[in-house]
């Protein structure tokens, strides 16, 4: 019986191709919009997750909060306190530095390139692997001896020296109001995620690594401890522990100590993006209701046009349920066809957009299944009244209808 109803429904749809297509258009646009918007949201969440992985999901910082009313010099950290913290938490922390950065201009001959140098310790590459293509990484002797040695990214090296292989070359730059010569000991290549490449724009400012002990000069005071916990250490449990330690050495209540972790930031960003995706997707889903009303309208017209056909079927013994199922099947099939076309259109838009932006789009199967199911439900819901009207038609009156 179902197969017969589907055959009649397909025949009715083919008999009025343009009208059927225009009826399905609302469903097509609605489904395509929902899939495209939700998939774009999921793709952005995936991109942010990849970007945070490059930062380090095990990364966090701890400091005396700048919101305290009586911030004092002793609230800054010293190199001795950093070394002591490494010893105390050696079984839980794999890396720690002063989280120091320096924005400056590197000068070589007539070439000038803007740089942002990150101050690191010699074992930084153990927590953030670096693809060294020329030379070497910063050594323990570089850091402890405060040697003016740097590691540059290959793109910045090409801009400054005209070649990426510039190991051994020197250039001038000013850090902490002191201008000195610095030697390139290594060059690395960084593979950026699409989001990072987009955020960096044209790349006017280049990046590099420098011993963090150089950036703490001349006072050797700095505001926070930047660290990576070891694999297997629960970040949520460890942050209160290190906060209590800092509060103790600084003579502060724990409430004056602030901690921030990449995991917390990831959760916040993911929550915001997920909420925005759901909200915008919900707004786009309103067009499905418009499409459903369109289906109801055209099914009402179809019932009126086929009143005589309904009368003949009833006169030949068709039951009320048979007539209702016939029109419900036609309504659901029309909506489902629109849903399938909408899915293809939505997925196509996402794929083309992802390819154009150089990113891998995320299209979840669950979203497609929900979209198809919802489109069919829309067809059934909005087809109930026309189908009920057809089923309740009096066969004698229907046969008299011209």
Q: Against a cut of 0.85, is the pTM above it?
A: no
Q: How far apart are CA 88 and CA 319, in angstroms?
A: 83
Q: How far apart are CA 221 and CA 83, in angstroms?
A: 13
Retrieve residue 312's tokens.
Answer: 């003949």
Query: How many helices, marked H, and strands, marked E, lie in the chain?
Result: 13, 13
pLDDT at residue 200, as a whole number: 53
Q: Among positive and negative, which fits the CA dihedral 41, 42, 46, 47?
A: negative
β pairing state of 221-222 and 93-97: unpaired
Written as tens digits, the pLDDT of the chain (402 aa) is: 567 667 766 776 777 778 778 888 888 888 888 888 888 877 777 777 766 666 677 899 999 998 888 888 999 999 999 999 999 999 999 999 999 999 999 999 999 999 999 999 999 999 988 899 999 999 999 999 999 999 999 999 999 999 999 999 999 999 988 999 999 999 999 876 555 555 555 557 899 999 999 999 888 899 999 999 998 899 889 999 999 999 999 999 999 999 998 878 777 777 777 777 777 777 777 777 777 778 787 777 777 777 777 777 777 777 777 777 777 787 778 888 888 888 889 888 888 887 777 677 778 888 788 777 777 777 777 777 777 776 676 666 655 555
Q: How far apart are CA 154 and CA 186, in angstroms?
A: 9
The backbone torsions φ and ψ at residue 253, rounded to the nearest 5 degrees and listed phi first, read: -70, 155
* Residues 198 and 96: beta-carbon distance below 8 Å: no
pLDDT at residue 23, as a whole number: 80
Q: Which residues face 187 on adjacent strands?
A: 134, 152
Q: Which residues face 170 on adjacent strands?
A: 183
* Residues 86 and 159: beta-carbon distance below 8 Å: no
The backbone torsions φ and ψ at residue 78, rounded to the nearest 5 degrees and listed phi first, read: -120, 165
* Residues 117 and 180: beta-carbon distance below 8 Å: no
* Residues 173 and 107: beta-carbon distance below 8 Å: yes
- Identify the helix (H) or strand (E) that includes residue 278: helix 262-305
pLDDT at residue 53, as a whole number: 66
3-class state of residue 321 by DSSP: helix
Q: How far apart are CA 86 and CA 382, in angstroms?
A: 67
3-class state of residue 299 by DSSP: helix
């Amino acid at each position: 019986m179902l197969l017969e109803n589907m055959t009649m429904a397909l025949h009715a749809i083919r008999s009025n191709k343009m009208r059927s297509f225009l009826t399905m258009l609302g469903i097509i646009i609605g489904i395509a919009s929902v899939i495209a918007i939700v998939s774009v949201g999921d793709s952005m969440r995936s991109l942010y997750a990849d970007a945070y992985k490059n930062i380090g999901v095990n990364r966090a910082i701890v400091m005396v909060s700048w919101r305290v009313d009586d911030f004092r010099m002793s609230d800054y950290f010293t190199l001795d306190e950093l070394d002591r913290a490494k010893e105390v938490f050696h079984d839980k922390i794999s890396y720690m530095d002063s989280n120091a950065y320096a924005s400056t201009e590197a000068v070589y001959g007539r070439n000038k390139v803007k740089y942002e140098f990150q101050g690191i310790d010699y074992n930084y590459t153990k927590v953030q692997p670096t693809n060294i293509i020329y030379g070497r990484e910063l050594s323990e002797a570089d850091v402890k001896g405060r040697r003016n040695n740097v590691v540059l990214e290959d793109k910045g090296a090409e801009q400054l020296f005209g070649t990426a292989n510039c190991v051994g070359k020197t250039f001038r730059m000013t850090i902490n109001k002191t201008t000195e010569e610095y030697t390139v000991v290594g060059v690395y290549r960084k593979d950026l995620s699409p989001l990072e490449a987009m955020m960096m724009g044209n790349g006017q400012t280049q990046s590099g690594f420098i011993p963090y002990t150089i950036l703490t000069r001349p006072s050797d005071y700095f505001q926070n401890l930047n660290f990576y916990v070891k694999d297997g250490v629960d970040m949520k449990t460890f942050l209160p522990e290190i906060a209590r330690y800092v509060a103790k050495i600084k003579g502060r209540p724990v409430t004056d100590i602030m901690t921030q972790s990449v995991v917390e930031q990831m959760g916040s960003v993911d929550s915001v993006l997920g909420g925005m995706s759901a909200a915008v997707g919900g707004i786009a889903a309103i067009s499905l209701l418009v499409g459903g009303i369109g289906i109801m309208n055209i099914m009402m017209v179809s019932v009126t046009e086929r009143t005589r056909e309904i009368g003949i079927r009833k006169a030949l013994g068709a039951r009320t349920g048979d007539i209702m199922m016939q029109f419900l099947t036609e309504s659901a099939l029309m909506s489902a066809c629109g849903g399938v076309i909408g899915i293809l259109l939505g997925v196509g838009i996402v794929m083309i957009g992802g390819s154009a932006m150089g990113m891998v789009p995320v299209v979840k199967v669950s979203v497609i299944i929900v979209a198809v199911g919802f489109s069919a439900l829309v067809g059934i819901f909005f087809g109930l009244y026309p189908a009920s009207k057809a089923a309740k038609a009096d066969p004698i009156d229907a046969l008299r209808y011209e």
